[in-house]
Structure 1
Amino acid sequence: MYRLALAMTGNSHVAEDISHDLLLKLWSAQPATELTWPYIRAAVANAVYDQHRRSTDRLRILRTNADELGSASDPTTDRDIEASIDVQRALARLPGTHRLVIVLHYLEDLPFHEVAAILQRPPGTIRRIGREAVGQLTRDLTPTEREN
């Protein structure tokens, strides 16, 4: 739950708050036997969407601290870490719905029709948002000639 919220928000503190609040709500509202992963995933997406809508601030760029970097199971190079931070920053710059579509479709491997059901939007709209988000990420992550 936390990992999904973190991927959607790009902010570890907000992800913790959402996860804790949602865990309490789910624990008191549903018997544990009725909690399925699709239900939890939809609840996280809705909680992130609600938080984003309520928030007057834009979600901030994830600042990876040494503890989070040190928890990787395989050794990484500085270049890998920089690339990961670049991707996190690019995701953080996406509008909330665009980020949700990218996280649910590409990171959680959900088909567009399931993402559409979770976000309560038509599948065609979700596919369009996905294309726009991928285009924006491609532009943000492709080095320009000045950078080379």
Structure 2
Amino acid sequence: MTQKSLLKKAQKGNEKAFVELLQHEKLKIYNMAYLYMKNENDALDVVQETVARAFASISTVKEPAYFSTWLTKICINTALESIRKKNKIIYMEQPITEIVNEPAIDEKLDLLEAIEQLDEKYKAVIILKYYQDLPVREIAQLLQCPEGTVKTNLHRAIQQLKKYVLKGGSHYGEQY
């Protein structure tokens, strides 16, 4: 069954069609939630809330081709709302580099740490562009801003990440 026909059925209240639509998106949504929440339980909570919100508002999807983008936007907004509500800070007794000694893992952790240091607007475009592999046009639609703003934010985010990596990482309060 095509995505278009599944979407039409889901919009008429067919739960099976909705579940089938989600089957194609579930891993992508979980990964997005995990990137924001940084732990499995919170990510699963965000996914659950995303699915509930998506089911409740499935009738608002106008174009089947944008179902994935629409669902991703709900996931991002749900994750950001959850972060704001919890406003939690995780303190680690020892640095991550002492816990993990494998170089490849260290590099990935360094990049994730650098991305975590970015402002939300920069973090969002980096995640959508390089983790979700979305084109600038779709990112602009998803974030409801002009394509030029997305390009500018991508450029600035990459510049900040370069500075962060070249400085060997910065700590709280330091500027890149």
**TM-score, normalisation: structure 1:** 0.70
- Percent of aligned positions with the same letter in both sequences? 21
Query: Segments of 4+ in structure 1 off by > 6 A?
Result: none
Q: Does 1:4 align with 2:35?
A: no
Would you say 1:108 and 2:132 are equivalent positions? Answer: yes
**Alignment deviations for residues 98-131 of structure 1 (CA, whole Å, 9 cap, x no partner):** 1110011122111112111111111111111111
Q: Which runs of 5+ in 2 are unaligned?
A: 1-28, 169-176
Contact 1:45–1:118 (CA under 8 A) maintained in structure 2: no
- Assess if the C-alpha contact under 8 Å between 1:102 and 1:133 holds in 2: yes
Distance in 1 (alpha carbons) for counterparts of 2:139 and 2:157:
14
* Corresponding position of 1:73: none
Q: Which residue in 1 is equivalent to 2:74?
A: 43
Cα 1:29–1:10 shift into 2, 3 Å: closer
Which blocks of at least 5 consecutive residues in structure 1 are unaligned? 70-76
- The structure number with the bigger radius of gyration is 2
Alpha carbons 1:116, 1:122 under 8 Å: kept: yes
Larger RCO, structure (CA 8 Å, separation 6 or more): 1
What per-residue deviation string (whole Å, max 9, x for no partner) do you get for residues 117-148 of structure 1? 1111111111111111111111112355xxxx
State the partner residue of 2:47: 19
Q: Secondary structure at the match of 2:128?
A: helix
| Equivalenced residues, count | 129
Aligned-residue Cα RMSD (Å) equals: 3.1
TM-score, normalization by structure 2: 0.61
Deviates more, 1:38-47 or 1:128-137: 38-47
Offset at residue 47 of structure 1 (A): 2.2
| Shift in alpha-carbon separation, 1:109–1:87, aligned structure 2, 3 A | same
Q: Is the 8 A contact 2:49 2:78 kept in 1?
A: no
Map of 2:152 onto structure 1: 128
Residue pairs, 1:54-73, within 5 angstroms: 54-55=84-85, 57=87
